[in-house]
Amino acid sequence: GAVVSQHPSRVICKSGTSVKIECRSLDFQATTMFWYRQFPKKSLMLMATSNEGSKATYEQGVEKDKFLINHASLTLSTLTVTSAHPEDSSFYICSAPGPNREQYFGPGTRLTVT
Amino acid sequence: DAKTTQPPSMDCAEGRAANLPCNHSTISGNEYVYWYRQIHSQGPQYIIHGLKNNETNEMASLIITEDRKSSTLILPHATLRDTAVYYCIVRPVYTGNQFYFGTGTSLTVIP
């Protein structure tokens, strides 16, 4: 089946720095991709929709200047957490829609901000 | 916003069928019911989806009530590897591809 990959799988960064997370659809093209964050023992929360060739659409309450999204190609979307703070530490997951109305999720990226 | 209600947790004996309920009483006629599961520290895994007919695949069966206000995911022979959080999601067919997750059911399969 379709596969979505993420890189890196886990990252540790210092407060105030920026970190980029990549999401790739490996054997299919995706004009839209989605970014979620998940805190421990909580459900996934949709952050934004990444649109190839246009600006991302952010969910209410998500700071677009802090979470920069770039949909560089039909198989790649990136999420950059800018000026990271410890409260940004979370599990970030991306997804892409498949051909049969299903959604394929990446394995997630564990971000720890020290 | 999530439009589903699920019990927070369930246990199931290994080898027995696991029946996970989901209430979606406000579902619209153009909304599908999807089931995903998430094993600890991994991305969600697709299980099955349906509109109004019952569905079956190699992983599970989905039973949707005639009024579509609730559904049940059935894992016919639960194994220890089925221990996970199971999410029931409703999503419109035509308006975007966003998935909004509810709180899910944490299923523990007991040896």
Return the pLDDT at B109: 98
Contact A88, A18 (CB under 8 A): no
Q: Which residues of chain B does A102 touch, with a Cβ-Cβ cutoff of 8 Å? A: 34, 46, 49
CA A111 to chain B, closest CA, distance in angstroms equals: 12
Nearest CA-CA distance, residue A101 and chain B, Å? 8
- Residue B107 · residue B17 · CB < 8 Å: no
- The angle at the Cα of A106, spanning B89 to A22, to the nearest 5 degrees, equals 130
Output the pLDDT for position B1: 63
| pLDDT tens digit at each of 114 positions of chain A | 668 999 999 999 999 999 999 999 998 888 999 999 999 999 999 999 999 989 999 999 999 999 999 998 999 999 999 999 999 999 999 999 887 777 899 999 999 999
Cis peptide before A8 (omega within 30 of 0): yes
Q: If DSSP codes are grouped into helix, strand and coil, which group holds residue A2?
A: coil
Coil, strand, or helix at residue A27? coil
- Write the pLDDT tens digit of every residue in B64-107: 999 999 999 999 999 999 999 999 999 887 656 788 899 999 99
Residue B30: its pLDDT value, please? 85
B29 touching A (Cβ < 8 Å): no
**Looking at the DSSP assignment, which residues form a beta bridge with residue B84?**
B107
* Interchain CB distance below 8 Å, B44 and A93: yes
Average pLDDT estimate for B33-45: 94
Under 8 Å between Cβ of B75 and B60: yes
Q: Is residue B89 a contact partner of residue B36, using CB atoms and an 8 Å limit?
A: yes
Look at residues A59, A49, A86, A93 and name the one whose alpha carbon lies nearest to residue B41: A93
Q: What is the pLDDT of residue B41?
A: 86
Nearest-CA distance A106 → chain B (Å): 6
| Interchain proximity A108–B43, CB inside 8 Å | yes
- What confidence score (pLDDT) does residue A7 get? 97
pLDDT tens sequence across B40-62: 889 999 999 999 999 999 999 99
For testing the chain A interface, which of B99, B105, B106 should be mutated: the one with the most A CBs within 10 Å? Answer: B99
pLDDT at position B3 is 85
| Cβ-Cβ contacts under 8 Å for A103 (sequence gap 6 or more) | A34, A95, A96, A97, B34, B36, B46, B97, B99
